[in-house]
Amino acid sequence: MKNTIIAPSILAADFANLQRDIEMINTSEADWFHLDVMDGVFVPNISFGMPVIKSIASHAKKPLDVHLMIVDPDRYIKTFAELGANILSVHYEACTHLHRTLQGIKAEGMQAGVAINPHTNVSLLEDTIEDIDLICMMSVNPGFGGQSFIENTFKKVEKLRKIIDANGAATKIEIDGGVTNKNARQLVEAGADVLVAGSYVFGSNDPIKTIRDLKEVKVN
Ligand code: DX5
Ligand code: ZN
């Protein structure tokens, strides 16, 4: 039985009660903290940056999965390692020398992730697949929480799963955007390993239970 990794997105937390929401994730069955960094250039929104991540890191008892939605991410690899990121994902569309960037992330002791926009074909990752620990497949256009899931994602997950397996790679597939109980099972069945959920978790009456319900989505 495959165990699904659940990564609540802090973007949907209450920033005035951040410690409370961090403790909620610490005590829940969630596996990772998903942290969305936006620069207002790569995406049309600005989220949070280094000081906030430093504070989160000092309370979080689970790995930090940092999703950089920024241009020229190479400039900040070392900084995010020092802040305590365990997994660092850069956008395929923001990297001219992706292979070099991935090696740079690993050289700082982090797992290397690549995020892809909904329009980016998964086959573009085939030649670097063995260097990628995590592929963050965007199931919405990046920049905002609370958007509707793009249905074409199911097909993309199946295609990417085939590429990973055919190459004997250990790359994990993470789905990011619009994840709810309505699509979670089909995503895991298609080959997803990690589910990010922001508004579905933090907008629910009982986030601990919502996380547990997502965690129970398993396939043989
Ligand atoms: C979107 C971010 C997501 C977002 C997901 O650009 O990368 O991680 O927080 O939020 P929901 O689950 O609300 O779509
Ligand atoms: Zn994200």
Domains of the chain, each with CATH number or no CATH: 5-215 (3.20.20.70)
Distance CA 195, CA 184 (A): 8
The response to whether 40 counts as a known ligand-binding position is no
Taking all residues of the chain, what is their mean pLDDT, rounded to a whole number?
97
| Bridge partner residues of 65 (DSSP) | 34, 87
Please state, as a whole number, how many other Cβ atoms lie within 10 Å of the Cβ of residue 117.
17
72 is catalytic: no
Q: List the shell of residues around ion ligand 2, using CB closer than 5 Å.
A: 36, 67, 176
Which ligand has its closest atom nearest to the C-alpha of 45?
1
Please state, as a whole number, how many other Cβ atoms lie within 10 Å of the Cβ of residue 87.
24
| 162: DSSP letter | H
Model confidence band, residue 218 (pLDDT cutoffs 50, 70, 90): confident
> Measured at the alpha carbon of residue 47, what is the angle toward residues 113 and 35, in degrees to the nearest 5?
35
Mutate which of 140, 199, 201 for ligand 1? The one with the most ligand atoms within 8 Å of its CB, which is: 140
Distance CA 55, CA 138 (A): 26
Mean pLDDT throughout 18-41? 98
Mean pLDDT throughout 44-57? 98
Residue whose pair of structure tokens reads 């961090």 in the numeric block: 22
**Residues in the ligand 1 pocket, defined by CB under 6 Å:** 9, 11-12, 34, 36, 67, 140, 142-147, 176-179, 196-200
Distance CA 14, CA 37 (A): 16
Residue 56 near residue 10 (C-beta atoms within 8 A) = yes
Residue 177 near residue 152 (C-beta atoms within 8 A) = no
Which ligand has its closest atom nearest to the C-alpha of 142?
1
Mean pLDDT throughout 37-49? 98
Indicate which atom in ligand 1 lies nearest the CA of residue 177: 14
31 is catalytic: no
- Predicted pLDDT of residue 18: 98
Does residue 194 surpass a pLDDT of 80? yes
The response to whether 203 counts as a known ligand-binding position is no
pTM above 0.95, yes or no: yes
Residue 122 near residue 159 (C-beta atoms within 8 A) = yes
ipTM: 0.99
Identified catalytic residue from 21, 31, 36, 65:
36
